[in-house]
A and B are shown apart, each in its own frame.
Chain A
Amino acid sequence: MRFILWLAALALSAALARGITPPDATAGHGAEALAVFLAYSVGHDPSYFAEDATFHVMAEEEPVVGREAIAETLDHFYNDAFSAAVGVSRNLLVSGNVVVLEAIFHGINTSDFMGMPATGRQVSVPMMMIYEIEGGLIQRLRLYMDFATMLRQLGHLE
């Protein structure tokens, strides 16, 4: 009887110890979020966003709300304002339902951007994006970058 109780106590304490294990991107923990993120990253397909998703460029007051509006924003950025637009990954972190991408955005400004005419200049702007993924879809995306850096490279700011 004592032996059984001892075993039960060991199992309980082991479970308690597991409970304070750190967050990590181990297999099955973050794997689904990573799969969704990677599939989305191939072509920035807006169907990977939830219908009521939000995309917040943190330099702006308000986020873009809804898949349709996000699709327009991404299309303008990747296919209109900048050509040859690519993000070169510097770091990718995955934990639970969150994916964080640190990257450098490269592109050539070939059309109006932020109300300013095209300059034909190339930009290389460091940025960081945090994706919250639930139910196989991106629910929230937040983008951090310094717009002054981009405007300087475009020649709009000294």
Chain B
Amino acid sequence: MRRRSSCTPLYALLLLLAALLPLAPARSVIADEARTGTSFGALEVVLAFLEAHDPSYVAEDAVWQHMWQPEPLHGREAVAAMLRDFYEDGFADSHFEVHKLVADGNKVVGEGVLYGTHTGDFMGMPATGRSIELPIIAIFVVEDGSITEGRLYYDVGTMLAQLGMMEEP
């Protein structure tokens, strides 16, 4: 009994080491996936972007479209300007609440609701002080750790009605 008891800490240590060692390569695999843009890596990139609205996650030559607009934005700088217009100028307190994320290969779909208060000029409209609650779904394509395509689907009439710019449907 005494001999068995003295070995228990050693077994526990071995178990702990054995359990931890294979996790280290597992982490590096995830990091590799993030770079190559398979599902998990793509998901990580999109989640980080949605959290921070940081244009550095957007590829330099990305194509980005709000689907109610006839033409897409081209390039990181154009996307960065759009993000600034919305999140810093027009709707300073806004946030996107993610309800569902679907990843398949290097494509990620994010569905959620955008909340915000119209506190500054936006699309040529002066601040109204009104709140918006806008359901949005967006699809992102991720390549080499950056978002190369983004398409956002929502009903612009819903937003304009909430801002008092047009009649409620």
Interface on A for B, CB 8 Å cutoff? 2, 5-6, 8-10, 12-14, 16-17, 20-25, 58-60, 91, 93-95, 98, 100, 102, 126-128, 130, 142, 144-149
Contact B68–A146 (Cβ < 8 Å): yes
Q: Decide if the interface of chain B is mainly helix, strand, loop or mixed.
A: mixed
Q: Does B103 contact A (CB under 8 A)?
A: yes
Q: Does B33 contact A (CB under 8 A)?
A: yes
Contact A9–B139 (Cβ < 8 Å): no
Q: Does B53 contact A (CB under 8 A)?
A: no
Q: Which residues from B are CB-within-8-Å of A149?
A: 67-68
Contact A22–B43 (Cβ < 8 Å): yes
Interface on B for A, CB 8 Å cutoff? 11, 14-15, 18-23, 26, 30, 33, 38-41, 43, 67-68, 100, 102-105, 107, 109, 111, 135-137, 139, 151, 153-158, 169
Contact B103–A58 (Cβ < 8 Å): no
Q: Which residues from A are CB-within-8-Å of B41?
A: 22
Kindly state the separation between the CA atoms of A5 and B22 in the bound complex, as whole angstroms. 15
Contact B136–A144 (Cβ < 8 Å): yes
**Nearest chain A CB to B26's CB is how many angstroms away?**
4
CB-CB nearest in chain A for B154 = A144
CB-CB nearest in chain B for A21 = B40
**Nearest chain A CB to B144's CB is how many angstroms away?**
17
Residue pairs across A and B with Cβ atoms less than 8 A apart, 20 shown, are A2-B11, A5-B18, A9-B14, A13-B21, A13-B23, A17-B22, A17-B23, A22-B38, A22-B40, A24-B104, A59-B155, A93-B109, A94-B104, A98-B100, A100-B139, A102-B139, A126-B151, A130-B100, A148-B155, A148-B157
**Nearest chain B CB to A3's CB is how many angstroms away?**
10
CB-CB nearest in chain B for A8 = B15
CB-CB nearest in chain A for B19 = A13
Kindly state the separation between the CA atoms of A23 and B26 in the bound complex, as whole angstroms. 16
Kindly state the separation between the CA atoms of A146 and B169 in the bound complex, as whole angstroms. 13
Contact A22–B157 (Cβ < 8 Å): no
Kindly state the separation between the CA atoms of A95 and B107 in the bound complex, as whole angstroms. 11
Contacts A102-B151, A144-B153, A147-B157: A95 and B104 contacting too (C-beta < 8 A)? yes
